[in-house]
Structure 1
Amino acid sequence: MNSQLIIAAIASHFTPFYTKKYGQAYLGDCLEIIKLITDDSINLIITSPPFALTRKKEYGNESAEKYIDWFLPFAHQFKRVLAEDGSFVLDLGGAYLPGHPVRSIYQYELLVRLCKEVGFFLAQEFYHYNPARLPTPAEWVTIRRIRVKDTVNVVWWLSKTPNPKADNRKVLKPYSQSMKKLLKNGYKANIRPSGHDISNKFQKDNQGAIPPNLLEIANTESNSAYLQRCKAARVKPHPARFPQGFADFFIRFLTDEGDIVLDPFAGSNTTGFVAETLQRRWISCEIKEDYVLGSEYRFGE
C-alpha cells in the first residue's frame, strides 16, 4: 500500500500537526484516525498505551477492571489495518490491586481476549527490563519491605497471521568474549548434560549473537536533547517515555526500509523519531496537544 494514499485518506479529515521526511504526527483520537486507514496497509504497530495503574496519571489511564473493554475497540482496528505479514507490538506495565500487595492479571486477560476474540496470534512474548526503575510501589517495597521492585513490562508480539515478517539477523548482539574465544580456538563437539548435541555447526561465525526475549534497556534520558528543548520552549514533556532502544529493536527486527510503522498512543513520539532515523514511513497519533507539540523537539526543532 502506497503510504501517500494512506496519508491522503487521513488528511481528508485530519491535518498533520507536523510532517517530516518519512512521516506525520497527528493530534486527535487515534481510534477516529485509524478508521481512515485502508485495510492491510500497516506493516508494524508498536505502542505503549497508558497502563492500567492503580493511581491515575496526568496522561490518562483506565483502571484494571475497565482496561480490556476500553482497549478492545482499538485492537479490532489494529488488526484490520495490519498487513498480512504485519506485527503488533504492545508494551504493558503491571499493576497491583488497590490496597493489596498482590498483582492484577489484566495484561494476561487482555492477551487472551486479543487472541481469542480479536483473532491475533501470539508470535512471542518479550520482557522489557529497565534496571534503572525506581523501587515502587513504595508501600510494599520500601516501607513494609514485603515485595521487591517491579522492573519488567510484558511485551506481547502479536501478528495477524501465523507467519509475520521478521529477521533476527537485523538485531544481532555483539559476541561475548567467551564466544569470540570459542570461534577463534574451536570447539569439540559433544553432548551436554542436558542431552543437547552441540555439533561443529556451533562454531560458525554468524556475525553476532541472537538476542533473547529479555530486552534490557534502561530508561534514563533525564538530560536528553528532547527534554532540554522542551524545557527551553517551556513545553511540558511527556512523563512516561519509552526508550529509543525499544522502538529501534522491533522496527529493525520486524520491518524493512520503506515499510509503514504506526504508533497510535505516541506520547513523545519515540517511535516516529526512530522510524525516521531508520527510513521507515511512519504515522503517530496523540490525543494531548502538549505532548504532540513537545514531541517535535525530538527531531531537533
Structure 2
Amino acid sequence: MAIPKTKIITGDCLEMLKTFPDNHFNLIVTSPPYADSRNNTYGGIKPNQYVKWFLPRSEQFLRVLKPDGTFILNIKEKAINGERYTYVIELILEMRKQGWLWTEEFVWHKKNCFPGKWPNRFRDAWERCLQFNKSKKFKMYQESVMVPMGDWAKNRLKKLSKTDKIRDNSKAGSGFGKNVSNWVNRDKGYPTNALYLATECNKRAAFSEECLT
C-alpha cells in the first residue's frame, strides 16, 4: 500500500497560515497550550489573556478552512484554588461572534488520567474536543466509523412488544422517543460523542514494519 505524501511545516501557526489561500483545508485539529501550561516552551498564556491570544489564530483557521470542512479544538479548563477558570466558555462565545458554528462537543475520556487526590474535586479524566464549522452542511462520513451493536441486542430484540414497534415518545414530554424495532437485523450502530482513549505515555516510531507492508 502506497503511503500518502506528507509535508511537515514547522513554525508559528499564526504566521504559517497566512501563506495559505482561503478555503484551503478540509480538516483542522489542534490542541493548543492550555492556560498557564508549557511555560518553558510557549511562555505560558494567562487565563485572563487566553481568549485574546487565541482569537487571531481562530480567525486564520476560519479563513483557510473550506466551507464544508471541520475544525476540532482540544482544550480543557484549568482549576486553581478550587475553582475552574471560564476561559474555554468565553472562547466559545467569542468564536461564535467571529463567525464559527459550534456544532458538536466530544468528550475525550482519558483512561490513564493523572493519579492524585485533591481536597475539593476528583481526578481530571476528560477533556473537551470542540467541533466548529463554517456551515451547517459539512462533510461527515458517519458510516465509516460505525461500531458493533453489542451483546445487548441479542436478547433485547428477540421478543418485541407493541410499544417497541412504534415510536414511543417520552412520557415527560421532552420530545424524545424511540422505536426499538428499528434495531432489528442491524449489525452496527453509530458511535456516541464520547471518546475512550488513553494518552500516549512514551515516544513511538512514526512508522512500524506493519505500516509499511
TM-score (norm 2): 0.82
Q: Secondary structure at the match of 1:90?
A: strand
For the pair 1:90 / 2:90, whether they are aligned, the reply is: no
RMSD (CA atoms)? 2.4
Give the residue type in structure 1 aligned to 2:113: R
For the pair 1:135 / 2:108, whether they are aligned, the reply is: no
Q: 2:88 aligns with which of 107, 117, 129?
A: 107
Deviation of 1:167 (Å): 2.4
Deviation of 1:21 (Å): 3.5
CA distance in 2, matches of 1:189, 1:150: 44
For the pair 1:157 / 2:131, whether they are aligned, the reply is: yes
The structure-2 alpha-carbon separation of the partners of 1:197 and 1:45, relative to structure 1 and needing over 3 Å to count, comes to closer
Q: 1:222 aligns with which of 180, 189, 201?
A: 201
CA distance in 2, matches of 1:151, 1:58: 25
Equivalent residue number for residue 59 of structure 1: 41
CA distance in 2, matches of 1:24, 1:109: 34
CA distance in 2, matches of 1:42, 1:26: 14
The structure-2 alpha-carbon separation of the partners of 1:30 and 1:223, relative to structure 1 and needing over 3 Å to count, comes to closer
Q: Secondary structure at the match of 2:206?
A: helix
* 2:169–2:178 contact (8 Å) kept in structure 1: no
Deviation of 1:197 (Å): 4.4
Q: Secondary structure at the match of 2:62?
A: helix
- Please identify which structure carries the higher helix content: 1
Q: String of CA shifts for 1:130-188, please: whole Å, max 9, x gaps.
A: 1211135x5xx1xxx221111111121000112111122111122211124445x3533
Q: Secondary structure at the match of 2:41?
A: coil
CA distance in 1, matches of 2:153, 2:146: 14
TM-score (norm 1): 0.60
CA distance in 2, matches of 1:133, 1:58: 23
CA distance in 1, matches of 2:160, 2:40: 56
Equivalent residue number for residue 68 of structure 1: 51
The structure-2 alpha-carbon separation of the partners of 1:107 and 1:214, relative to structure 1 and needing over 3 Å to count, comes to same
- Please identify which structure carries the higher strand content: 2
* 1:94–1:107 contact (8 Å) kept in structure 2: yes
Structure 1: gaps of 5 or more residues: 1-19, 227-296
CA distance in 1, matches of 2:155, 2:62: 46
Q: String of CA shifts for 1:48-99, please: whole Å, max 9, x gaps.
A: 111114x5543323121111111111111100111110110000022013xx
Equivalent residue number for residue 201 of structure 1: 182
CA distance in 1, matches of 2:147, 2:95: 31
The structure-2 alpha-carbon separation of the partners of 1:104 and 1:223, relative to structure 1 and needing over 3 Å to count, comes to closer
The structure-2 alpha-carbon separation of the partners of 1:104 and 1:215, relative to structure 1 and needing over 3 Å to count, comes to same
Give 1:159-174 correspondences, 5 Å limit. Answer: 159-174=133-148
For the pair 1:49 / 2:29, whether they are aligned, the reply is: no
Q: 57-66 or 22-31: which moved more?
A: 57-66
CA distance in 2, matches of 1:80, 1:193: 43
Give 1:7-26 correspondences, 5 Å limit. Answer: 21-26=4-9
The structure-2 alpha-carbon separation of the partners of 1:35 and 1:201, relative to structure 1 and needing over 3 Å to count, comes to same
Deviation of 1:122 (Å): 0.9
Q: 56-65 or 29-38: which moved more?
A: 56-65
* Percent identity over paired residues: 28
